[in-house]
Homo-oligomer: A and B are copies of this chain.
Amino acid sequence: MKQTIKKNYIIEKCYECFVKNGIENTTTRDFCAAADVNANTLYYYFDSKNEILVECVNYGYMQLESTLFDALKEFDKSSFDIFPRLTKIGLDYAPKMRFLHQAVSSPAYEEYREDQFKKVNAFYDRLGMELAERFDCPYELIKDYIYEIMTLLSYFSLWGSRDMAAIQFNRIFIDFKNAITNYREIRSLME
């Protein structure tokens, strides 16, 4: 196994440990068992448990992003049907999102928080620009909706309340759809 592949494999397995047991109940021993390596090998790839944590957070957000983008491929351009699907993916991601919250909230994560926040915002921008392209409208029009959706997703993942999430997401998606529809109408009148 090449080194990068091996490292990524270990990150994936450590991530699963964290998601399952939480940060406070995950030990080096758990990492080694899950990734089938010994502690020497583990700490050949990572300087510390904290570095593993940082890599796992980054991995978790990348995984969410690729899951969302993969789902988009299944839909026709301009189809509003993506909304419930994206919501479901987001809500199903809740246990993993809770690990991400746990990590980012930790005082041990303090020095990495700002950097990860930039990465998360870049991910929201990529998602927003993909949707803008699909719906043939400017990113500026939908930026706030993307933001609101991801903020809510974060909040409901924390509390695990799907019912309340459904109500709030429904409200945003109606606004979002109206914004796009209105924009297109106005644009067609101006042509």
Counted per complex, copies of this chain come to 2
A58: interface (CB < 8 Å)? no
Our pick among B23, B105, B113 for the contact of A99 (Cβ within 8 Å) is B105
| Interface stretch (choices A30-38, A158-166, A179-187) | A158-166
Residues of chain B contacted by A145 (CB below 8 angstroms): none
Instruction: Identify the stretch in A40-48, A60-68, A132-140, A148-156 within 8 Å (CB) of chain B at 4 or more residues.
Output: A148-156
Kindly list chain B residues whose C-beta atoms are within 8 Å of the C-beta of A23. Answer: 23-24, 106
**Cα separation A102 to B107 with both chains bound (whole Å):** 10
A39 within 8 A of B: no
**Taking the nearest CB of chain B, how far is it from the CB of A20, in angstroms?**
7
Contacts A20-B107, A22-B107, A24-B108 known; list 8 others, CB within 8 Å: A22-B105, A24-B106, A98-B105, A113-B159, A117-B160, A120-B159, A154-B155, A155-B155
